[in-house]
Structure 1
Amino acid sequence: MITVIRRAWRYLVFALSGRLSELSDPRVQIEQAVEEAKEQHRLLSQQAAAVIGNEHELQMRLTRALEETERLQANARQAVLLAEQARAAGDERKAASYEDSARAFATRLVAAETALQEARLLHERARQSSAQARAAVETNAMALQRKIAERMRLLSQLDQAKMQERLNRAMADLSGLAPAGDVPTMDEVREKIEKRYARALGEAELTAGSVEARMIEVERAAIDVEGAARLEAIRESLALERKPGRNEPPDPAP
């Protein structure tokens, strides 16, 4: 039972992940990937800075240990010289005191040399770690630059894809291949107009064949005949008015 539940849970997670990936905006996903890369580079730079800082700190400790070793060695040598001078002068007690000081300086010199050797080993390891950290930061910086350039290319390609999709939808709408939606296609509009035009022609044919239409044609013909007679009468009256009188000379022949 537990195995079945686990399989069902994995299937549900995988299905939801795939659906979320389909619904996600590619532009947002690209920006998320670049921001994640920038954050990783920032953390890596901080770690590299800590490693390089440790190298510088060990370098300062090594310098101090070296200076301390040289100082103790010089003091021990000076104490030995003073002890020999006191012994040569016959002052054994003073020579013994210088011998004790030289012995103390020598003991501290041994401890300082041991610390110096350890500081050198630590500094060498820190130097190698710093070199690796610098190389890692440089490599990651180059990878980040490539991702930024890839982001520009992908965003440009995404804009081109969106433009091509809009163009494809527009061409599909013009060709009538687009599915019916909120906006009708050209074919649907043309079909609707043709239906209305055909119906209007049919109604005109029915109206022209009716009795009322014949009566209107007869009345129109009578009106046309009467108008022609009236026009002829007007012409005749105009011709009588243009004839010359008895005392008026006739118009010269053309």
Structure 2
Amino acid sequence: MFKVIRRAWRYLVFALSGRLDELSDPRVQIEQAIQEAKEQHRRLTEQAAAVIGNEHELEMRLTRSLEESGKLQANARQALLLAERARAAGDERKARSYEESARAFASRLVAAEAAAQDARLMHERAVQASAQARAAVETNAAALQRKLAERMRLLSQLDQAKMQEQLNRAMGDLSGLTPAGETPTLDEVREKIEKRYARALGEAELASDSVEARMIEVERASIDVEGAARLEAIRESLGLGKRPEAEG
């Protein structure tokens, strides 16, 4: 049962996703993709800046360690020289005191040199990481520029597609294949007129073949004969005589 529910849920999500893709505006989707690419580049740039900043921090730490080591070494040398001078002057106690100071400086020098060595190794790794970060930023910047150029091409292609669709609709309207809204096409109007005219012809044909039409025709012929006879009577009363066609 759980497997069926999970399968149905996946199908529903896939169907809704496909429907959403169909209804989505391509221009909005293009802008979303570009904004996502810009956001990724921003995050990468911030990470690279942190890596490069760590390199500079380690460089300053290494510089301080080397300076400290140099000072300690100079102090140790100076203490040894003072010890030798005190011993040459016969002041053994002072000479031993300077030698103790020299040993303390030497101990601190060992620790400072170890710290400087660690700082040097960390700085070298940071330099490599910084180089990789800079290369990654440059590569991603080039990719972003390509996406921006692709956006311009896609938007131009989208505008052309819309204009072509509008042209196709206009051509369809002109050919009568796709009427615009509630307006009938010429083909529909012509079909309607032809159907009405054919029906009128049929009604006229039926009317001409009916008994009433024959009776009217006979009555009209009788009236015409009587009218012609009456006209001839009027001619005779006037002494005009009959016309040849009347005699015939």
Deviation at 1:188, TM superposition (A): 2.5
Distance 2:45 2:166 in 1: 44
Deviation digits for residues 82-135 of structure 1, max 9, x if unmatched?
111111111100100100100000000000000000000110111111001000
Deviation digits for residues 177-225 of structure 1, max 9, x if unmatched?
22684332232344456667x49x97xx99xx999xx9xxxxxxxxxxx
Distance 2:14 2:179 in 1: 32
The residue number in structure 1 matching 2:152 is 152
In structure 2, the gaps of 5 or more residues are: 221-248
The residue number in structure 1 matching 2:23 is 23
SS at match of 1:59: helix
SS at match of 2:101: helix
Distance 1:98 1:16 in 2: 86
Q: Kindly tell me: are residues 116 and 106 of structure 1, through their superposed partners in 2, closer, same or farther at Cα, counting changes over 3 Å?
A: same
Counterparts of residues 15-94 of structure 1 (less than 5 Å): 15-94=15-94
The residue number in structure 2 matching 1:143 is 143
In structure 1, the gaps of 5 or more residues are: 215-254
Distance 1:191 1:148 in 2: 54
RMSD, aligned CA: 2.4
Q: TM-score, normalised by structure 2?
A: 0.77
SS at match of 1:123: helix
The residue number in structure 1 matching 2:101 is 101
**Count of residues in Structure 1 that have an aligned counterpart in Structure 2:** 206
The residue number in structure 2 matching 1:14 is 14
Deviation at 1:172, TM superposition (A): 1.2
SS at match of 2:14: helix
What is the one-letter code of the residue matched to 1:38?
A: K
Distance 2:9 2:169 in 1: 39
SS at match of 1:153: helix
What is the one-letter code of the residue matched to 1:28?
A: V
What is the one-letter code of the residue matched to 2:5?
A: I
The answer (yes or no) to whether the contact 1:172–1:178 under 8 Å persists in 2 is yes
Structure 1 stretches of 4+ with a deviation exceeding 3 A read: 189-196
Deviation at 1:151, TM superposition (A): 0.4
The answer (yes or no) to whether the contact 1:174–1:186 under 8 Å persists in 2 is no
Deviation digits for residues 68-93 of structure 1, max 9, x if unmatched?
00000000011011111111111100
The answer (yes or no) to whether the contact 2:173–2:180 under 8 Å persists in 1 is no
What is the one-letter code of the residue matched to 2:61?
A: R
The residue number in structure 2 matching 1:242 is none
Distance 2:85 2:48 in 1: 55
Percent identical? 80
Distance 1:186 1:122 in 2: 84
The residue number in structure 1 matching 2:170 is 170
Distance 2:189 2:90 in 1: 131
Distance 1:183 1:70 in 2: 96
